Every structure is written in C-alpha cells, then in structure tokens.
Chains A and B, each alone.
Chain A
C-alpha cells in the first residue's frame, strides 16, 4: 500500500512539540502583522495631524516643490508645527531645498524619525534612503505603494498642525495611494504657472481631485511676474521692452527708484482657471531668481529674505489656505 501523502498531527501524542511555521509562513505572518500595525498607525496619525494638505501640479517645472517648502516654512514662521512628506519617489527635491542634503534617517524600534529642516519643519523623503543621489529609483507600482504607506504609517511624526504632502507632477497613482491611506485630508492645492500649456494640465489636476472626491483648496499661480527694481534719475521715465514686444513704462520716485514687472509667463491664467472651475484662487507668487539660488544652496528664499516680496506673497497664500480649511470657513449648511 502506497504511503499516504497526507500526514496527520496528533498534538496529544506528539512528543516533538507544536508545529513551527516555515520560514515563508513566518515571513508572511510578520508582513501581515506589520501591515496591520501600519494601518492602525495611519489612523492614529490621521488624528494627531490636524491639517493635511496635498500639493499637486499638472505638469513638471511649475515650482511645486518650491511652493510646498515655502508653504511649510511660512507656516512654521507663524509658530505652527509642520511636516513635509516628499512623495516624489523618482525626483525627491525637498531635502536639498531644506538644507538636508546629506541627512540619513534615524530608525528606532521600527519607527522612522523624520529629519528636521528650517524652523524645525520635519521632513521625510525618499532622498534620505539613497546612498548616491545619482541613483534612479525604478520601482513598479506595488513597491511604490508599499513605500508610500511606510512613509505614512511608519514615521514618528508626532503632533503636527500641518502636514504638507508634495507629489510628483501629473495625475498618477501616488495621490490615490495617499488618499486611500491617510484619513481626513483637508484637500489639494494645485500649483500652476500662468501660461496656457501649464493651465491645460492644471485643469486636469482639478478634475483629478474631483474623481478622488478630495476637495480642492485652491489654485496657486507661481512665477507670476518678474519684478525688476532699479535706480535712475529722480522723477523720470524709463521704457523697457517687455515680453511679446510690449513696451512697459515706469516713472521713478523722488529718490530715483523705479520698479517694473515683466509677465514672462503671462499673468492671470491661474486666477481665470480657478474661476472657470469655481475653486478658490489662493494667490500669485512672483518669479524670483532667489528661489533658484535658495533651492540649490538649501536656504529657502523665505529664510534668506523673510521681509521680501516672495515671503510676503507666501504669507498671503498661507492666509488664504487657512481661511479655506478652518472650521469657521465652512458655510453652516443645514441638511435635512
């Protein structure tokens, strides 16, 4: 008679002790346990972080990461506890902008401790995990999803007033993962530049937000005008050839100071797009070469020039965001 392939185990008569799981089974159990813990952690994080703001753009190069760091630093300047989650796994720029280029993350008892940048802003980014900044991260969707869930669930954020979440450009699966993992997101901020090409993509972002049933906090128009300041003879006029061949005239004051704003990427497109979609326009941020230098040097423009036009513009945008997400902003709609 052939030996049965089915083995039976009688615990009462088995002197060898309980059956140990195989290494594969053990690994699966550990993964399931970690997943369960992460889910619970995400819910707790959802409670401990008061406001969660997603920052998106339809296309790259509109200054989304600059805006994300600017919002975070501007909020921190007001005394709030702020964190930035850099979800752009393939192009993580936030650490460089926050002066955290060579930082490595500290992990303790399975919890990831974020780095601290300007004004105590906590930062988590894929960049911290790369030994070589020239190393590309080539991950398929499920691995990206797992990494994002770890960034949300395994990080010791502590109590935060605001978490700014910076995404890669476009409408991809990263925002979907975050909205499914992190509860009670206040909404999305869409960053655009004024020209038609960027606006076309920003409109897709607004529709994308609607498909995710995530509120649109509003639209920010970045690189909105480049202001030149100079000194000429007092009380005299100067003519400057602006974009599109337009001549711009300015008159100096009694000290000879003059100021001219050039609409390099046009102007007003962000506001009209917001109006078309019926979402708030949060404000315009000027084109400031100081952001370029600051991004490269790791000293954000708001830090290097806290009283400058860019810092003031960011403060106004932050005020507009706060007005949208505060509990007092909501119309007391009675639904019967």
Chain B
C-alpha cells in the first residue's frame, strides 16, 4: 500500500535545524546542512550526481555560518528557503521535505538530468 504523506502543519526554525510537526502528530528534525545539501535547483542538483562533487557541495554548505532562513510557501505544494549566503533557489516540495525528515534520499537514487524533474 502506497505511503500516505501527512500534512506539514508547523515548521520551527531552530539554531541549526528545522523542527517539523505533521497533522498526524509525528515530529521530525532536518538540519540546515542536510536541507541545503539536498537543494533541488538546477545548479545544486547535478552536483549530487557524483560522490566527489556531492562532497564538495556538502563542504560548501557546511562552511556557511548557520542562521535561520526565511521560509516562503510556494503555492500549496512547496517551500522556498531564503538564506543570507549560498543558494536560495531551491523549491522544496513537501514530498522532498518528508523524504528528508525520514532520512531517505530525496532524489530517490535518480540522477539529475536538466528538465527531467
């Protein structure tokens, strides 16, 4: 039976991570570093295709001083996070956030090909 994703009802920005609360009362944390490394934009996504470039992206993300981003809803299906430094282009669908919250690969093991997702 396909997993039914609950609705995200609360997102709290803490010092170095988000605290998420869903409508089924499940709670999760996603670190800012994990979220930024999983940025789905067309610049960041190809870097995760290879281990070497993925590690470089991770190092870059971890070099940024942690701070609370602005969080902007995009329609009814995603969130956009605005950081003081680095990339703020990523539009994170709720499905992506849910995967990150459950420590799953948000790219589902798929290589990024421009325009393919």
Interface residues of A, Cβ cutoff 8 Å to B:
187, 200, 203-204, 207, 210-211, 213, 215-217, 276-280, 324, 329-336
State whether B75 touches A336 (Cβ < 8 A).
Answer: no
Closest to A331 in B: B7
Number of interface residues of B (CB under 8 A): 25
The 9 closest A-B pairs by CB, nearest first: A215-B75, A278-B93, A336-B12, A334-B10, A278-B95, A204-B115, A331-B7, A335-B71, A210-B91
B residues near A331, Cβ cutoff 8 Å: 7-9, 23, 76
Residues of A within 8 A of B117 (CB): 203, 207, 276-277
Q: Which residue of B lies closest to A171 (CB)?
A: B115
Known A-B contacts A203-B117, A207-B115, A278-B93; the reply to A329 vs B76 at CB < 8 A is yes
B67 to chain A, nearest CB (A): 15
Given contact pairs A213-B74, A331-B8, A336-B10, enumerate 8 new A-B contacts (beta carbons under 8 Å). A187-B75, A203-B117, A277-B93, A278-B96, A331-B7, A333-B73, A334-B9, A334-B10
Q: How far is the CB of A170 from chain B (nearest CB, A)?
A: 13
* Least distance between B13 CB and chain A CB atoms (Å): 7
CB distance B73 to A336 under 8 Å? no
In the complex, the answer to whether A336 meets B91 with C-beta atoms within 8 Å is no
**Nearest CB of A to B55, in Å:** 26
B80 within 8 A of A: yes
Which B residues are closer than 8 A to A by beta carbons?
7-13, 23, 42, 71, 73-78, 80, 91, 93-96, 115-117
**Which chain B positions have C-beta within 8 A of A217?**
75
- A333 touching B8 by the CB < 8 A rule? yes
Give Cα distance in the complex from A179 to B10, angstroms.
29
17 A-B pairs in the complex with CB atoms less than 8 angstroms apart: A207-B42, A210-B74, A210-B91, A211-B42, A213-B91, A215-B74, A215-B77, A217-B75, A276-B117, A330-B73, A331-B23, A331-B76, A333-B9, A334-B9, A335-B10, A335-B71, A336-B11
